[in-house]
Structure 1
Amino acid sequence: MKQEQFVARYQPEWQALERWLAIRGRDPRRARRTPGPDGLDDADMPQRYRRLCQQLALARRRGYSPQLVARLQSLMQQGHGVLYRTPAPRWRRAVEFLFADFPQLVRSQARAMWVATAVFVIPLVGTFAALQWHPELIHLLMGNDEIARMERMYDPSSPHLGRDSGTDWMMFGYYIMNNISIGLRTFASGLLAGVGTLLVLLFNGLTIGAVAGHLQHVGHGDPFWRFVVGHGAFELTAIVIAGGAGLQLGMKLLAPGRRRRIDALVEGGVIGARLCLGVAAMLLVAAFIEAFWSSIADVPAWGKYSVAAVLWTLVLLWLWRGGRGGARAD
């Protein structure tokens, strides 16, 4: 085979590899997360590297030009550096995921996230407003025992906010299990063509709106808001993100496009699983704040609201700006 034929045959492959290596050099995380410009990702790298070594050996054996041999030699050395690069420590990858990959992934599913927000927030606000005008509606949404327990938990004279028993550590464990189970249920319900996720979001919005509306009406609003305003930045946002994860999963099932339905569902499951990792981290932080800060009754309202303002600002900035300037998450 003449050199011109050899170059014509393998040139696209070399160019794809060169572009991919250039991207990998600028951002080592990008190729790991997403396919390169020609669909090349880390899974393709060992096979491409072996082919390149074979092509270099052929070029040398056939006596092709020094320029071509030098080009292939350079590509091989760069590929070796990528393939055998020492992986980043696990803690660093975890930090990169939480502060860059996760917020990017949330933004990449913006449509599902906005739908989840609307399905959760509109019933919450609507129920709260309705109970200010028609307080008797609470009996359609909650039983008498639940109402009595709720009023006891947020009694202004209670030494703790949001609970009537249990130590901080006991409640921390309870909040972790309860909140994460809600988040996972919200996501997994997306397998029911997204309808399950919509129902879970709707139910949670109605329930929280009913609790807030009733307590506000009976004069227990101050302890309630002082309790929820802090950890709500992480907890409520996490539930909405879990809802968005479930909705995108449902859409992959309903509208797979040109892909096979099972392939689209697997893709949605991978995206959802990564989103749920971030949701679990958010709910862990929310549980810590809820157990050790939110329940303190001695902190005045201005102190609770000041801390809450900082927490809400940090969460929103993190989701809006986290990972910008880097590579897109898949």
Structure 2
Amino acid sequence: MDLDVFVMTHRAEWDRLDQLLRKGRGLTGAEADELVALYQRTATHLSLIQSTAPDPTVTGRLTQLVARARATVTGTRRASWRDAARFLTAGFPAAMYRSRHWWIPTAVLSTLLAAIIGWWIGTHPEVQSAIAAPEELRQLTRPGGEYETYYSSHPAASFAAQVWTNNAQAAAMCLVLGAFLCLPVVWILFLNMANLGVGIGLMSSAGRLDTFLGLVLPHGLLELTAVFVAAGTGLQLGWTLVDPGPRSRRDALAQQGRAALGMAMGLALVLFVSGLIEGFVTPSGLPTWARIAIGVLAELAFLAYVYVLGGRAARAGQAGDIDDWERSAELPTAA
């Protein structure tokens, strides 16, 4: 395509579109129809130039024109509480439901890894001695030791806020770093499971595994599930770079990235709940069975949320992505 000839041929249409946009709300009915037609043509022109003869100056002008025209044609729209409710009842659970084939295997393999590390440490005294000196290990695992006092070492509200912040950061890192071919996500998961395995191994070697599980399970079930969901989504995002499927790599990554961003916001709420449990329930004076029961109920509620609301929304076509009208056109529109 000869760019100079193309520009000369369509410059009058672009100038006319700019003129109509400057009039704002004072358009007549015929002018409004003309604006819509010129907007569609200019969007097509922009797509053709970008794909065949990209020029920064022309592309910049047309991009600005198309953006202004689109805002005028579609109108501005502000997020509302209805949008938030729709996200929490459809978009977010649907995204988790659709990605379950990634985060469920992630959860199973990660839990198995933590158990293996715990067994290895608990049955090998030489490994325990490599972790810390015997006196330090006794300080960690004895009744009233550091493993137990950790959950009551700060006021409940500030501790819950700190836990929520740390876990939300870990989940966000899993989601974002998945784009780097999955490797950072695997490393983050390994570190988390190794820390859990060390606690299991040391407390089991001291004959206090029941105490450790009584402290971890109330909040850990929901907390670890959220981390597994984030890690599985991050791995799916990374795999999209390797195998985008029938879509172009750019479009596939954009769609999966938008869904991951929504997942980050939704999982922050899930981790907020687990942080409240860890701050107020785990160190409370409730019997162990009652604390664990609260954790199990929270986990069952989360799974029901994913499989009931999420499954229903996914079957209705929800994918956790933004609406079609909010996305840029993937193909040129007809002129």
Query: Which of the five TM-score ranges fits, normalised by the shorter chain?
Result: 0.5 to 0.7
**Counterpart Cα distance in 1 of 2:268 and 2:218:** 17
Give the equivalent residue in structure 2 for 1:300. 287
Give the CA deviation at 1:318. Answer: 1.7
**Counterpart Cα distance in 2 of 1:283 and 1:306:** 18
Give the equivalent residue in structure 2 for 1:93. 83
Give the CA deviation at 1:271. Answer: 1.5
Give the conservation status (yes or no) of the 8 Å contact 2:122–2:200.
no
Structure 1 letter corresponding to 2:154: G
1:65-113, Cα deviation, whole Å (9 max, x unpaired): xxxxxxxxxxxxxxxxxx89x98x8334323322332222112112222
**Counterpart Cα distance in 2 of 1:97 and 1:293:** 29
Matched, 1:108 2:98: yes
Alignment of 1:164-243 (within 5 A): 165-243=153-231
Give the equivalent residue in structure 2 for 1:329. 318
Give the CA deviation at 1:148. Answer: 6.5
**Counterpart Cα distance in 1 of 2:137 and 2:226:** 26
Give the conservation status (yes or no) of the 8 Å contact 1:138–1:214.
yes
Matched, 1:266 2:241: no
Give the CA deviation at 1:246. Answer: 0.5
Give the conservation status (yes or no) of the 8 Å contact 2:92–2:262.
yes
Matched, 1:288 2:276: yes
1:219-268, Cα deviation, whole Å (9 max, x unpaired): 33343222221112321110000001111110111112344333322222
Call closer, same or farther: CA 1:146–1:311 in 2, change over 3 Å: farther
**Counterpart Cα distance in 2 of 1:264 and 1:215:** 45
Call closer, same or farther: CA 1:316–1:325 in 2, change over 3 Å: closer
Structure 2 letter corresponding to 1:316: L
Give the CA deviation at 1:269. Answer: 1.0
**Counterpart Cα distance in 2 of 1:289 and 1:164:** 12
Give the equivalent residue in structure 1 for 2:327. none
**Cα RMSD (Å):** 3.2
**Counterpart Cα distance in 2 of 1:133 and 1:271:** 43
* Correspondence for 1:128 among 118, 124, 141: 118
**Counterpart Cα distance in 2 of 1:202 and 1:170:** 28
Structure 1 letter corresponding to 2:122: Q
Q: Secondary structure at the match of 1:219?
A: coil
Call closer, same or farther: CA 1:254–1:159 in 2, change over 3 Å: closer
Unaligned runs of 5+ in 2: 1-31, 38-73, 320-335
Q: What is the aligned-residue identity percentage?
A: 24
Task: State how many pairs are aligned.
Answer: 248
Unaligned runs of 5+ in 1: 1-45, 52-82
Give the equivalent residue in structure 2 for 1:248. 236
Call closer, same or farther: CA 1:109–1:230 in 2, change over 3 Å: same
Q: Secondary structure at the match of 2:250?
A: helix
1:141-191, Cα deviation, whole Å (9 max, x unpaired): x45598567437xx3478965336221122122112211111112222212
**Counterpart Cα distance in 2 of 1:146 and 1:321:** 47
Give the CA deviation at 1:117. Answer: 1.7
Call closer, same or farther: CA 1:149–1:175 in 2, change over 3 Å: farther
| TM-score normalized by the length of structure 2 | 0.64
